[in-house]
Amino acid sequence: MSQTRYTKDHEWVRMDGDDAIVGITAYATEQLGDVVFVELPAVGKEFKRGDELAVVESVKAASEVYAPISGKVIAVNDALDGEPGTVNESPADKGWFVKLSVSDKSELDALMDDAAYKAHTD
């Protein structure tokens, strides 16, 4: 399994071959509470690192999800439409948001590894 990288805003990105899978961390879901709605982008939409990628609504608040790296959306997790709570139940696995065709893999170098993210959230 390839290494997961993290943003200071609690998004995660994991490479899957030449593509990247993106979601939000367990820490983010704990802060949000129960997720009740997820707005995902359209397949084919392009994002630059830091652009608003998705919106998550919970019982507590609505929160933006930002693109951790630049790329084009090649898949979205349609399962979240009917089961947004999957984000809470499995944020690092079944609760992923999008798959991106990566524009610049070197952007991963600016993100935190597991140890740095753990220190960031402690």
Domain coverage including residue 8:
4-101
**Above 70 in pLDDT, residue 87?**
yes
Give this prediction's pTM. Answer: 0.94
Q: Indicate whether 30 belongs to any domain.
A: yes
Q: Indicate whether 118 belongs to any domain.
A: no
Q: Indicate whether 59 belongs to any domain.
A: yes
Q: Indicate whether 79 belongs to any domain.
A: yes
Q: Indicate whether 11 belongs to any domain.
A: yes
Number of domains in the chain: 1
Q: Indicate whether 16 belongs to any domain.
A: yes
Instruction: Please report which helix (H) or strand (E) contains residue 30, including its range.
Output: helix 26-32
- Nearest C-alpha neighbor of 66 from the set 115, 114, 31, 100: 100
- Nearest C-alpha neighbor of 26 from the set 85, 84, 92, 122: 92
**Above 60 in pLDDT, residue 96?**
yes
Per the prediction, the chain carries an average pLDDT of 95
pLDDT of 18-31, one tens digit each? Answer: 999 999 999 999 99
**Above 70 in pLDDT, residue 1?**
no
- Give the pLDDT mean for 68-73: 97
Q: Indicate whether 26 belongs to any domain.
A: yes
CATH number for the domain that contains residue 63? 2.40.50.100
